Amino acid sequence: MPVREAEAGDLEEICALIEEHARYEGNDTLVLDRAEMAKYLFGPDPKAWVLIAEPPERPGTVAGFAFCTWSFSTWEAKPGIWLDDLYIRPDHRRHGLGGELLAALRARTDGRVEWDMQAGNEKAEAFYRQLGAEPVPDWTRYRWRP
- Place 1 in a pLDDT band, splitting at 50, 70 and 90: low
CA distances from 105 to 8, 50, 66, 70, 122 (A): 20, 10, 9, 11, 22
Domain ranges for the chain, please list them. Answer: 3-131
For the domain bounded by 3-131, which CATH number is listed? 3.40.630.30
Is 142 among the catalytic positions? Answer: no
pLDDT digits (tens, 9 = 90+) for 69-120: 999 999 999 999 999 999 999 999 999 999 999 999 999 999 999 999 888 8
pTM: 0.91
| From 24, 40, 87, 128, the catalytic residue | 128
pLDDT digits (tens, 9 = 90+) for 53-80: 999 888 889 999 999 999 999 999 999 9
